[in-house]
Amino acid sequence: MPFIQGMDISFVDEIECAGGTYEVNGMQEDVLVIMKNSGVNAVRLRIWNDPAGGFCNLERTLVMARRIKALDMHFLLDFHYSDKWADPAQQWKPQAWENASFEELTEAIYAYTKHVLTELDNQNTLPDMVQIGNEITPGMLWPDGKVDGDFNTDEQWRKFTELVKSGIAAAKSVSPSINVMIHIDRGGDVDASLRFFEKFEQYEVTFDTIGLSFYPWWHGTLESLRRNLAELAVRFDKDINVVETAYPWTIDTSEGRAFIVDKEDQLHNGYPAAVEGQAQYLKDIIALIKETPNRRGAGFYWWEPAWIPSKEEWSVGHANNWSNLTLFDYEGRRLSSMNALSE
């Protein structure tokens, strides 16, 4: 697989259903075509079990997967194993699994993962790679698979890794060649990253790719990311993907917009909140990942480049607080920062 220059476009389906469109050089175009023509070669989608609003479920994933594969792009499917966001602050079970015993939960993960991937395989759109969980640093499917705080015990790690192993086994049963990623959120934290993946080694979790999230305002500097990539590449014989990153093209809130990143002190030194600063960040993070020792820097995904504010409120309860971290402006016009992918 070539170096992955990927984009997470999980919101695109809902955006387009709300009337949102994308354009380049004044002409409206399929957002996937715009991306591919700009140097994107991979697409990431999240999947929720039974989400409110009906987006990012299996039915809509099947539709989006056909679009991805029609353009011959690498496809990464991110299993959250929840009806909503799963991240370090929330890893809640889907409602249908809430009362399951641990044994039933393990079986449910296997059956669900296998079902989703079989349905995708049946339409010739099997993902090239899957994530078994999203940013699972504190575990997943709480409380059964929780491993942070008071839950950081040998027994909880055993249960957590058994749940992960069940998802991995299901994926490999559909296709032994499918690449399995394990994704945590600590892109700039060497110690936390090593501790996590050493635990997975201890509990004999067999997987293919390490995934990291890296957002400067949460995870540190590019230099801290560089150190982490180097340490992980030397310690573990696995490819590493910075599977989530982003940077603002503006922090101007004068139009009444509210952003997660809206202050100068949240910015990375040397990268202004402007299209030019965003472009330089993109160029530099690509170069940094490619320099990972042992050629283990497998690529990156931008999160979420196309989440334009075509709705005031989204089906999962989010406002438009990410619309300055995209690679399109508010009206869906491609930003020149995307040129960094082909330079």
Q: Can you tell me the distance from the alpha carbon of 160 to that of 236, in angstroms, rounded to the nearest whole number?
A: 21
* Known active-site residue 135: yes
Residues 6+ apart with CB under 8 A from 176: none
**Residue 47 structure tokens:** 């999947």
Residues 6+ apart with CB under 8 A from 304: 7, 8, 9, 10, 11, 246, 322, 325, 326
What are the φ/ψ torsions at residue 130 (nearest 5 degrees)? -130, 150
- Selecting among 29, 107, 198, 244, the annotated active-site residue is 244
- Selecting among 14, 135, 162, 304, the annotated active-site residue is 135
Nearest alpha-carbon partner for 268 in 257, 277, 279: 277
* Complete DSSP assignment for 152-204: -SHHHHHHHHHHHHHHHHHHHHH-TT-EEEEEES-TT-HHHHHHHHHHHHHTT
Q: Can you tell me the distance from the alpha carbon of 25 to that of 33, in angstroms, rounded to the nearest whole number?
A: 13
* Known active-site residue 155: no
- Total length of the chain: 343
DSSP state of 253: -
What are the φ/ψ torsions at residue 177 (nearest 5 degrees)? -90, -5
Alpha helices (H) in the chain, listed in sequence order:
12-17, 31-37, 58-70, 102-122, 154-174, 190-202, 216-219, 222-235, 275-290
Whether 332 and 22 have beta carbons less than 8 Å apart is answered as: yes
Neighbours of 77 (CB within 10 A): 27
Whether 221 and 288 have beta carbons less than 8 Å apart is answered as: no
Nearest alpha-carbon partner for 340 in 1, 4, 5: 5
Q: Just list the catalytic residues.
A: 135, 244
